[in-house]
Amino acid sequence: NAGVTQTPKFRILKIGQSMTLQCTQDMNHNYMYWYRQDPGMGLKLIYYSVGAGITDKGEVPNGYNVSRSTTEDFPLRLELAAPSQTSVYFCASRPDIGANVLTFGAGSRLTVL
Amino acid sequence: GENVEQHPSTLSVQEGDSAVIKCTYSDSASNYFPWYKQELGKRPQLIIDIRSNVGEKKDQRIAVTLNKTAKHFSLHITETQPEDSAVYFCAAIPDTGRRALTFGSGTRLQVQP
């Protein structure tokens, strides 16, 4: 049982490049989330999903896209990277509405130059 | 949506002293309030949580109190130790609407030996 796995751990992008942050969980959790954490700040919700095929925007969705084709996977896509997207990205999951404890991935540190 | 404010942003105490971190929330539908500890370069880790039908919860040196009427909750750490040094985040989540944790901005706790 690996929990929530994120890849890559580190990545440097040039302005305008695109990339996908991968997130997969093996706990059969319905709810999955993407948060970003800027230096010295709290976590801001980017997108979330309550099950396969269902996604919704969070507080800061601009510049990102997500998909949820399976229960296990919840990739985050950056289409045109900008310096403002330099951050640490955390994926998290939880079973369902009755269980609020989040399991976090180890994070992906992204730098856009 | 939910808005969570957290104070203070930094807190320095002497080893053995107590530390208190306070949070307020805006959405009266929020009913679950976790606290996370984040060490440098690591993922947030749940340390204690409280549900809206409980006023106080304690786990060894850590306690959380909740005042639903005033919409605020607090983390209390007694007999602080150097290993308590970290950033602490409060969060809140409702059972309706956006079913995702909203985090406070964090408190950096420094315990001086």
Strands (E) across chain A are located at 4-7, 10-13, 19-25, 31-37, 43-51, 54-57, 64-66, 76-78, 87-94, 103-104, 108-112
Q: Is the pLDDT of residue A101 over 90?
A: no
Return the closest-CA partner of residue A36 out of A23, A27, A25: A23
**For residue B17, what are the CA distances in angstroms to A55, B83, B85, B88, B112?**
45, 13, 13, 17, 10
Residue that the structure tokens 């979330």 belong to = A48
Q: Which residue of A has its CA nearest to B98?
A: A58
Q: Can you tell me the distance from the alpha carbon of B46 to that of B34, in angstroms, rounded to the nearest whole number?
A: 7
Which positions in chain B touch A61 (Cβ < 8 Å)? none
Residues A49-58 pLDDT 10s: 999 999 999 9
Contact B89 A56 (CB under 8 A): no
pLDDT band at A29 (very low <50, low <70, confident <90, very high): very high
Portion of chain A with pLDDT greater than 90, in percent:
86
| pLDDT value of residue B70 | 94
Q: Can you tell me the distance from the alpha carbon of A13 to that of B75, in angstroms, rounded to the nearest whole number?
A: 39
| pLDDT value of residue A99 | 63
- How many Å lie between the alpha carbon of A50 and the closest alpha carbon of chain B? 8
Q: Is the pLDDT of residue B96 over 80?
A: no
- How many Å lie between the alpha carbon of A80 and the closest alpha carbon of chain B? 26
The shortest CB-CB distance from A58 to any of B34, B100, B106 is to B100
Residues B52-65 pLDDT 10s: 888 999 999 999 99
The shortest CB-CB distance from A97 to any of B46, B95, B105 is to B95
Portion of chain B with pLDDT greater than 70, in percent:
96
pLDDT band at B72 (very low <50, low <70, confident <90, very high): very high
Contact A100 B93 (CB under 8 A): yes
Return the closest-CA partner of residue A69 out of A77, A60, A79: A77
Q: Can you tell me the distance from the alpha carbon of A49 to that of B99, in angstroms, rounded to the nearest whole number?
A: 9
Q: Is A34 on the interface with B (CB under 8 A)?
A: no
Contact B106 A104 (CB under 8 A): no
Cβ-contact A108, A89 below 8 angstroms = yes
- How many Å lie between the alpha carbon of B42 and the closest alpha carbon of chain A? 7
Which positions in chain A touch B45 (Cβ < 8 Å)? 104
Q: Can you tell me the distance from the alpha carbon of B68 to that of B74, in angstroms, rounded to the nearest whole number?
A: 12
pLDDT band at A97 (very low <50, low <70, confident <90, very high): low
- How many Å lie between the alpha carbon of A104 and the closest alpha carbon of chain B? 7
